[in-house]
Amino acid sequence: MTLAGSAFGQTMPAGADTRVWDEALKIHRKAIIVDGHNDIPGPLVDEDFDLATNSVGRFQKNGGTPFHTDLARLKASGVTGEFMSIYVGGDTWLAGKAMPRAMDMIDAVYREAEKHPEQLTMCTAAAEIRRAKKMNKTCALMGIEGGYAIENSLHALRNFYRLGVRYMTLTHNVSHDWADAHNGEVKNNGLSEFGKEVVREMNRLGMLIDISHVSVKVMNDVLDVSKAPIIASHSSARGVRDHTRNVPDDVLKRVAQNGGVIMVNFYPGFLDERTSKEDTDRSTRLKPQLDELRKQFANDPQGYNEAERKLFAANPIYITDYRRIVDHIDHIKKVAGIDHVGIGSDFDGVPYLPTGMKGMEDLALVTYEMHRRGYTEEEIRKVLGENFLRAFEQAERVAGNRQISGQGSLKKIK
């Protein structure tokens, strides 16, 4: 694949050795790359955003930074499988709108694939991702973020599978009726009995269980119950950055036994303590100005975004750079092994990316940094996609071996 003619060529990092960079790009373009998490479906639904629209210069509602994703940047990134996040938050659940929200987002992803068949194709199986690579196409895959979406119904879970959903993050940031979130209240002491039934049913279907966002107790309960490899679709290593959204070392060791994959999140706040602290301090310091802007632009979200962006630009903080992503990959490699680490960018789910990364088009920086640190081509390919494909294929095999069971809803299974 050549990037000539693309509006977004990958930018070589300052001071990089051209030979090492060229070698890295060669490995990158040959590899099957699967990214565990992308939140662009939100804007697809809420703003009628079309992926053909050049997203640079547009501004996210809550973050003030340009989108990270559009068709041209997706192509430049070299990604073959992009997991579009069917994100349903705790607030949507509490408002009683979890399932319809998920339905809107699934439809939006299908519509993008229908509008842009020359580049996008809906994929639901590992073999389809491998085939898409040969056809030089990009797979749109879907994962539900937030188990609220199934509204305590295995009937709904099965229908989401039939619609093409291939993983489910059991919670977002709010604990619910059958699983506890990483920073939420302890409602179930981990997974409830119904929660365990959800995991078993996901195994039977061939839907991957995603332990991003859940409490450590839920991570362990899932590992106790699941017969198939699990994933963390967008979480980093707690051993490098102690944050509840990241995965602790003892769980990493269990994931190695389970055959699963921890797909590293690129959000600077999850990667680096200093960035996180400076960000929090800045928000506290600028609160009076931000409150004032909110009043001033009460009916003009674009105007607010622009004003917020300017205010933040005038008050810069330390933002860790892309090399920090590879510190997390190194750590997971050390603790769990090279077979259990992947990438889960969280593009368009985060207000900003590590220094050096403007959006999807800069994904090759991660490959470059691994290559520079001496990772072999085989190791790099594992991290970029082969580990995920192996786990997915294993989950498909587990599904093929399991019988239909009869359970239906939380009411029946307490």
Q: Which residues are catalytic?
A: 37, 39, 145, 172, 213, 234, 346
Question: 167 in helix, strand or coil?
Answer: strand
CA atoms of 123 and 138, how far apart (whole Å):
9
SS3 153: strand
CA distances in angstroms from 234 to 14, 237, 349, 354, listed in the order given: 28, 11, 10, 15
Question: What Cα–Cα distance (Å) separates residue 41 from each residue in 22, 37, 60, 273, 364?
Answer: 33, 11, 12, 29, 23
How far is the C-alpha of 41 from the C-alpha of 349, rounded, in Å?
Answer: 10
Radius of gyration of the chain (CA): 20
State the chain's maximal CA–CA distance in angstroms. Answer: 62
Stated as kind and residue range, the H or E segment containing 208 is strand 208-210
- Closest among 89, 71, 81, 67 to 37, alpha carbons compared: 81
H-helix or E-strand spanning residue 120? strand 120-122
Helix (H/G/I), strand (E/B), else coil: 93 = helix
Provide CB contacts within 8 A for 19, sequence distance 6+: none
- Residue corresponding to tokens 């002491």: 189
The tokens for 345 are 């960018």
* Contact indicator for 409, 154 with CB cutoff of 8 Å: yes
| Other beta carbons less than 10 A from residue 31's beta carbon | 21
CB of 151 closer than 8 Å to CB of 217: no
DSSP assigned state of 384: I
The CA distance from 240 to 247, in Å, is 10
Distance CA 306, CA 226 (A): 46
CA-angle at 402, arms to 401 and 407, nearest 5°: 170
Residue 375: both structure tokens together: 């990772």
